[in-house]
A = this chain, B = another copy of it.
Amino acid sequence: MRIEIINTGNELLLGTTLNTHGAWLGGELATLGLRVQRQITVPDGDAITAELREAMERSDAIIVTGGIGPTSDDITREATAEVLGVELITDEAALRSIEAFFAHRDRAMAEENKKQALNPVGADILPNQHGTAPGIYAPPRMSGDRLCAIFLLPGPPGEMKPMFNNEVVPRLKSLADVTDDQQVRTLRFTGIGESDFHNCLDDTLAQIENLEVGYCARPAEVDLRLIGPMDSIVQAADIALTAFPNECFSHTGESLEEVVVKQLMEKGKKLSLAESCTGGLIASRITDVSGASDVFTHGFVTYSNHAKQQLLGVNEVLLETHGAVSKEVALAMAEGALARSRADIAVAVTGIAGPTGGSESKPVGTVWIALATPRKRFAIKKFHPQGREYFKQSTSQNALDLVRRTLME
């Protein structure tokens, strides 16, 4: 099945907004065994019409995001009717649903919102649970010598993603000839680099038939992507897991925070966090996971020395003797967090995110990560000098991985 994605929006071409829709849709389709053949970004306005016409001649399905809002440059709906050669008519149910959306929020509905209920004749309305713009599904129609279906989805991610999952996926599945057994599986690793894979695995994996291997390096993480028939994937995954058994935190694409929250739930353990340089990022990642409230109790964001002393009971002498970024202070923070919460495991981080604050003996990027349980305590040192954002992300990854490994014991 040949699928093309068209994303509309000037902000995407001006570089003020990263096109995350293209990647998200590509990833979701890949998990269905479907591949995107082409992704196009066009400005708001007229350009969509020619693009749709061209894409229809090459594709079995087109997914368009954006351009179905109420304003004058939102013309995806009109462009679709034009290329299909049909009229737009008001869908009464959709209109009532838009009116209800505003009524529910005690807001007046603007006249322009009415145009969001327009639907090309023969197309289906896709309900939008999270916004005013309903989506549209135009079932396969002959274009040139092929049948092509069109999906129009809203631009805001909070509206687009649930509509894709609820409305597009089932339709694509029934459209697609999902008889071929191309599967995609992502294994996620931390604690090793991409070059470790190249050095240890590339030659072996290259011998597996019909297998496509891809890597994606992220802060303190490498994702291994395997595409092919299921038996090739299983064979490759076995090889990778044998080579790096402790470094693989997910066989199914879950994030590290999802894995850790699940482990804590299964073991009935509670976690507390003491964060200096990550400034709450670890806690925020843990609480991104639904159900975190069952396993996460206290987060101490102790950015200042005063807070480290006051909230965690870190000894002033320790801070003066070793400095805030030291093994001793990291351990004292973890112990303080453990003692002050009712948690079973506490993790603490203290480091220098930069760009300022470094010294010769403790350059920007230096970080100590400590873990404490009632039975043991230890600390590790890491070095992430690649900038503030990368530093925070990598350090949070290292800290979560310490928890994961401890819970595996």
Contacts and interface: CB of A to CB of B under 8 A. Distances in A.
Nearest to A391: B158
A284 interface: yes
B14 A28 contact: no
B290 A355 contact: yes
Count copies of this chain in the complex: 2
Contacts of A253: 16
B195 A110 contact: yes
Contacts of A225: 10-11, 14, 16
B26 A198 contact: no
30 contacts: A10-B212, A13-B37, A13-B38, A14-B227, A15-B23, A15-B25, A17-B23, A17-B216, A18-B19, A38-B40, A38-B47, A39-B41, A71-B198, A107-B195, A130-B387, A158-B386, A158-B389, A275-B283, A279-B283, A279-B284, A280-B282, A280-B284, A290-B353, A290-B354, A290-B388, A292-B303, A297-B307, A298-B307, A299-B301, A300-B311
B293 A304 contact: yes
A10 B214 contact: yes
Contacts of A76: none
A244 interface: no
Interface in A242-284: 253, 273, 275, 277-284
A301 B303 contact: no
Q: Which of A26, A27, A199, A278 has the most CB of B within 10 A?
A: A26
A11 to B, nearest CB: 5
Interface residues of A, number: 107
Interface string A372-409: 00000000000000111110100000000000000000
Interface of A: 9-20, 22-30, 35-44, 47, 51, 69-73, 107, 110, 112-113, 130, 156, 158, 162, 184, 186, 194-195, 198-199, 202, 212, 214-217, 219, 223, 225, 227, 253, 273, 275, 277-284, 286-288, 290-293, 296-304, 306-307, 310-311, 340-342, 353-357, 386-390, 392
